[in-house]
Amino acid sequence: MKKIRKALISVSDKKNLYLLLKNIAKYKIQLISSGGTFKEIKKLGFKCLEVSKYTGFPEILDGRVKTLHPKIHAGILSKRNHKSHLKDLKNNNFEEIDLVVVNFYPFEKTLESTNSHNKIIENIDVGGPTMVRAAAKNYNDVTVITKSEQYNKFIEELNNNNGSTSIEFRQKMSEEAFTETAYYDVLISNYFNKKSKNLFPQKKIIYGNLIEKLRYGENPHQEAAIYSESNKLNIKQLHGKQLSYNNYNDIFSALIISKSLPKNTGTVIVKHANPCGVSINKNVVKSYKLALACDPTSAFGGIVSCNFKINKKLAIELNKLFLEVVIGNKIESEALKVLKQKKNLRVINANDLKLNDLQNVVSNFNSMLLQFSDTKTFASKNFQVVSKKKPNFKTLKNLIFAFNVCRFVKSNAIVLVKKDSTVGIGSGQPSRLDSCKIAINKMRQFQTKNDNDEIIAASDAFFPFVDGIEILVQAGVTAVIQPSGSIRDKEIIKFANQTGTILVFSKTRHFRH
C-alpha cells in the first residue's frame, strides 16, 4: 500500500471533478494544479497550490511550459526506497508526488471540429503525456489516473484503503495510462501522415476503441471483439439481440454494397458475406421482392440492407422471411413496431455511415495486409465498348450496375442482371467457368423465362478463354462487361462480334478475395 499525500491534477475534461476532489479532501491530500484546472478547483471551493508557486518558476511561452520542471518530474519519478533518489530530493528541496490525475488536450475532438493546422498543433499536449508516462513508469510508488471514467474505481480504492492504493490498482492504472499515451500519439502520427499523403509510412500503427466484446468469434471456441477508430460505430442497433462476429462481418459486406448504389435506392441481401440478391428498382417494396427473387433459398437467415428509409409496408414484407438483420437508412416508427414483433431480429440504422477513405486490414501470422477499399464510383468514362454492337443508355446503365455488384462478390465472380435487378450470382469458385454455371443455374432455378428480357452478365476479371463468355451467351446473355487484360482479349471480342453480343471492357480489374 502507498499513502497518497500530494497530488497533481491537470485535466482538460473536467467532468466529475467535484466528486473526485470531495473524496480526495477526506484524506487531507495536498493539491497542485495549473491553468484552467487550478481555477476550477478554487472555484469549486477546494484548497490548491498553483504549479508556478510550487516550482518557483512562472508559466512561459503562453502556457506551453508549466509542468515541465525538475521539481514536478523528480517528485513523480523518484523511487521511494532508493537512497540516492531520496538524497537528491532532499538536496534540491523537492517533494514526492504520489498521485497524478491528468487527461490530455482534446486533440481527437479538435480534428473533428476544425481543419485549421495551427489549432490542431496547439492541441497537441506535451506536458500531460510526459507526466502520465512518468507516473505510469513509477507505478510502484505513484498512482496515475487518466480518464474521468476511472474516478469511481479510484475513490473506491481510496476509501477501502484509508487514503492509500494497492500495487495491483496502481499497476492496472499504469497499463491503462500507457494505452492512453500510445493512442494519443497514434492520432497525432496519423494526422501528419494523412496531411503529407504518406499512405503507407515506414511504421504503421493500427488503433481502435473497444466497442464491445462479442460472445465469440466465427466459432464458439474463438474469442472476439469489435473495435472502431472512433468511440462509436456509425451504425445504431435499434432492436434485437446482441450482434455476433458473423453478423458484423455480413453487415459490413451488405453495407459496402448498398452504400455504393444510387442515393436512397437499392436493396441488398447478403448471406455469408456474399450478396445473393440486389435490386435498384425505385419502388422500395418491389426492390426488396426483386432482390429476394434472385435467390430466395440463400436469403433465408440472411441480412437485408436497404439504401433508403424503411416504411411499414416494406417491414410487413420483411417479417414474412426469417432474417438475422435488417438495415435501413432510418426506419419509420410504424415500421420499427412491425419489425420488433420478432424479438431476436436485429434492426440497424445505418443512415450516418459514409464510404469515405475506407481501409481494409487482413491480419495473419503476425503480419498485416493493408489496402484502401474498392469503393470508387463508376462512370461511363471508366469503360470502353469494344464490340461492333453498341449498348443503348439503358443497357450501359445496367452493365455498370451489374459490374458494381460484381466487385463485391467473392472472386471468381459472375453476376447476371435483368433490368435493374440481379437474377443469378456465382461466387467464390476457383474456376470462372464454374461461377458462370452457378449463376446460370440460379437464374434458371428462380426466374421465369421471358425472351423479351435482356440478360446482362458481369465478370470481376477478364475471361481467359472463350468458354466462359460462350456458356453465358448460350444461356441467353446479350451483353457482357468485364475487365480487359487477357492475351486472348481479341478472341473474346471476335466471339462477341460473331454472336452479336455487346461487349464492354472495364479499364480496371475488381477482384474481391
pLDDT higher than threshold 90 for residue 512: no
Q: Annotated catalytic sites, by residue?
A: 137, 272
Q: What type of residue sits at position 364?
A: N
Residues in Cβ contact with 330 at an 8 Å cutoff, skipping those fewer than 6 apart? 309, 310, 349, 351
Q: Per-residue pLDDT for 451 more than 70? A: no
**pLDDT on residue 294:** 96
Q: What confidence score (pLDDT) does residue 183 get?
A: 93
Question: Grid coordinates standing for 182?
Answer: 500510445
The DSSP bridge pattern shows strands 477-483 and 455-459 to be: parallel
Q: Which residues, in sequence order, are CB contacts of 486 under 8 Å at separation 6+?
A: 462, 463, 464, 492
In the structure grid, which three cell numbers stand for residue 133, read together? Answer: 508516462
3-class secondary structure, 379: coil
Does residue 247 register a pLDDT over 70? yes
Give pLDDT, residue 237.
94
Cell output for 120: 490542431
Say which amino acid occupies 157: E
Q: Please tell me the predicted confidence (pLDDT) of residue 367.
A: 87
What pLDDT does residue 379 have?
A: 83
DSSP 8-state assignment for residue 479: E
Burial annotation 374-407 (CB, 10 A radius, 16+ → b, else e):
beeebeeeebebbbeeebeeebbebbbbbbbbbb
Q: What is the pLDDT of residue 469?
A: 93
The dihedral of CA 478, 484, 488, 490: what is its sign?
positive
pLDDT tens digits, 24-76: 999 999 999 988 899 999 999 999 999 999 988 888 888 788 888 999 999 99
- What is the reported pTM? 0.85
**Helix or strand (DSSP H, E) at 131:** helix 127-137
Quote the CA–CA distance of 255 and 350 in Å, as a whole number. 8
Alpha-carbon span 188 to 185, nearest angstrom: 5
Residue 153's pLDDT band (cuts 50, 70, 90): very high
Q: Is the pLDDT of residue 357 over 80?
A: no
pLDDT number for residue 21: 95
In angstroms, rounded to a whole number, what is the distance separating the alpha carbons of residues 235 and 48?
A: 44
Residue for grid cell 431480429: 345
8 Å CB contact between 159 and 24: no
Q: What is the mean pLDDT of residues 86-101?
A: 92
pLDDT at 207: 87
Model pLDDT for residues 158-214, shown as the tens digit of each residue:
999 999 999 999 999 999 999 999 999 999 999 999 999 998 889 888 888 999 999
- Rounded to whole angstroms, how far apart are CA atoms 259 and 305? 9
| Per-residue pLDDT reduced to its tens digit, 285-342 | 999 999 999 999 999 999 999 999 999 999 999 999 999 999 999 999 999 999 999 9
Share of the chain above pLDDT 70, in %: 100
Q: Is 476 left (phi over 0), alpha (psi -120 to 50) or beta?
A: left
Euclidean distance between CA atoms 165 and 175, whole angstroms: 15
DSSP per-residue codes, 9-72? EEES--TTHHHHHHHHHTTT-EEEE-HHHHHHHHHTT---EEHHHHHT---BGGGTBSS-SHHH
Greater confidence, 355 or 88? 88
Least confident stretch, 205-209, 215-219, 492-496: 205-209
Q: Which residues pair with 497 in a beta bridge?
A: none
Confidence of residue 494 (pLDDT cuts 50, 70, 90): very high
Q: Which three cell numbers stand for residue 301?
A: 437467415
122, containing H or E segment: helix 117-122
CA distances, 218 to each of 225, 245, 249, 429, 450 (Å): 11, 6, 9, 21, 41
Sign of CA dihedral 492, 493, 496, 498: negative
The backbone region for 240, taken as left when phi is positive above 0, alpha when psi lies in -120 to 50, beta otherwise, is: left
Residues 485-501 have a mean pLDDT of 92
- The strand pair at 502-506 and 477-483 is best described as parallel
In DSSP terms, 99 is beta-bridged to 7, 143
Strand partners, 368: 363
Q: Which domains does the chain have, with CATH numbers?
A: 2-195 (3.40.50.1380), 213-220+236-349 (3.40.140.20), 378-506 (3.40.140.20)
Q: How do strand 30-33 and strand 383-385 relate by DSSP bridges?
A: unpaired
Q: pLDDT digit string (tens) for 360-390?
A: 888 888 888 888 888 888 888 899 999 999 9
Mean pLDDT, residues 247-270: 95
- Closest among 485, 468, 487, 479 to 504, alpha carbons compared: 479
Q: Residue 375 has what pLDDT? A: 87
User: For residue 120, what pLDDT is reported?
Assistant: 93
Residue corresponding to grid cell 492509500: 164
Q: Is there a contact between 128 and 35 (Cβ–Cβ < 8 Å)? A: no
Answer for the pair 213, 311: CB distance below 8 angstroms, yes or no: no
- Mean pLDDT (whole number) for 400-427: 94
Average pLDDT, whole number, for the chain?
A: 92
Residue 335 is which amino acid? A
